[in-house]
Amino acid sequence: MIIEKNLINGVWKNASNGGTFDVTNPATGEVMATVPRSTNEDVEEAVRAADLSFKEWSLLSAFDRGAILRKASDNVHQHAKNIAELLTQEMGKPFKEALGEVEKGANILRYYAEEAERVYGRIIANPEAGVESRVIYQPIGVTAAISPWNYPIELLAWKVGAALASGCTIICKLPSETPISPIAFIKCIEKAGVFPGVVNTLTGSGSDIGTLLVKHPLVKKVAFTGSTEVGKTVLMESSKTLKKVSLELGGSLPMIICEDADIEMAVKGAVRRSFRNMGQICISINRIYVDRKIYNQFIEKFTVETEKLKIGDGLFDECDLGPMCTSKGLEKTIEHIEDAVGKGARLTTGGKRPEGDQFTRGNYYLPSILADVNHDMLIMQEETFGPAVGVMPFDSIDEAIDLANDSQYGLAAIVYTNHLGLSEKLSREINAGNVAINNVDAGVMNAPYGGWNESGIGYEHGPEGLYEYLRIKHIRVTTK
């Protein structure tokens, strides 16, 4: 049994009232750890600590902060296997996927260590002789990171890396489902030499401590990744103190496969991006639109390749997929499948638990393909966030674009075509912040990543992600 604590002002401590809650392994249903159930007093102490340490941390040069982040990155790489084992136990993804995520988290810290050294101001000419305007960037202050359970290291690293590199201090509200691996990640940062109070962690209910962080007047910036519904609440509460906010919210990613596409390549991409991490990714494919001329061929090949995926306990088995993280997510996936089948969709594979004694416990479910769907079905309108995907044919490119845009979301889209003109038309006319052409990786670390419409506000990744933690100051100087 693992017992962890909160990091507040450089000290690992229990909740002020001693309260705790359990963390469960989704592969077995067994309790693996306990963590503090943080209180109002804990939130206040963490915010005050971050506020007190802000001046000293922000006055360090970008190069000095970068040296600490590089050391933190090295620490994470050194402990990557141990952190990945914890991640697999609490979240369910296979160990190889968890290890890749942890190593990516380490690389994110290094990226922002280096990007902070490239924050440039500018000199602006004035009409008068002997007068000039300077524009500089300064850290915004105390920040709060509210990160999700599906990528508990990577999505936390986006926020912590950019905040610390910019000169901000941070309070990390860790996901209740998966707090253990993020705590191990934060320990690597702490041991790299950050000052007490620069990085703080809190575990507990998002509706309680998350709300307190969002409302606190000393918190100047909130970075949130999660559902659109909760994101709207974060934005509303942040507006009361005019905080800067970045929100990476829900998605219902469309994939369009044109007649001229490399179908083998498209099938491979569809399998990976539909079912990786059991579909628990904000840019998992939710909806696939296929040119009617190749629709049946695609469905057949997609089904065959999906059925090759191996499911198991990611800590012990060589497998492609583990269990879903939460029973609530499993229930929603089943609801979407039953709704679609009830309205006439055809289930080509999946739709049940895998067979075998080892799958009687835990949140296991087979990856599922629903053919002949339409937009009256939940799976084509809501974010499933599970191992199920809907597929339907289209007859013209304009119809495909209309179908792709028939959504409240706009985080990302995927297109497969070998026609240059089509790729240009689709990439420009699809309403999404990220579009991948002939690949399924719509986000890379050194390019901006953000959603349109109800998929979010602001950016993570790239220099744009760093500038979310900076504010602009204009200085006008008479030099004569």
Active site residues: 248, 282
Query: Which amino acid belongs to residue 352?
Result: K
Contact partners, residue 450, CB within 8 Å, separation at least 6 = 246, 248, 433, 434, 456, 457, 458, 459, 460, 464
Q: What distance in Å separates the CA atoms of residue 181 and residue 157, rounded to the nearest whole number? A: 12
Q: Between the CA of residue 121 and those of 67, 135, 458, 473, 475, what are the distances in Å?
A: 22, 5, 21, 9, 11
Q: What distance in Å separates the CA atoms of residue 326 and residue 324, rounded to the nearest whole number? A: 6
Two tokens at 217? 């007047």
Determine if residue 437 is left, alpha or beta; phi over 0 gives left, psi from -120 to 50 gives alpha, anything else beta: beta
Two tokens at 115? 């990007």
Two tokens at 374? 């339409």
**Enclosing H/E stretch for 189:** helix 180-190
Q: Do the Cβ atoms of 369 and 303 come closer than 8 Å?
A: yes
How many other C-beta atoms are found inside a 10 Å radius of the C-beta of residue 279? 26
Q: Do the Cβ atoms of 279 and 252 come closer than 8 Å?
A: no
Crossing angle, helix 95-115 and helix 180-190, to 10 degrees? 40
Collapse the DSSP code of 313 into the 3-class scheme (helix H, G, I; strand E, B; otherwise coil) and give the result: coil
- Going by their DSSP bridges, the two strands 6-8 and 2-3 should be labelled as unpaired
Q: What distance in Å separates the CA atoms of residue 14 and residue 395, rounded to the nearest whole number? A: 60
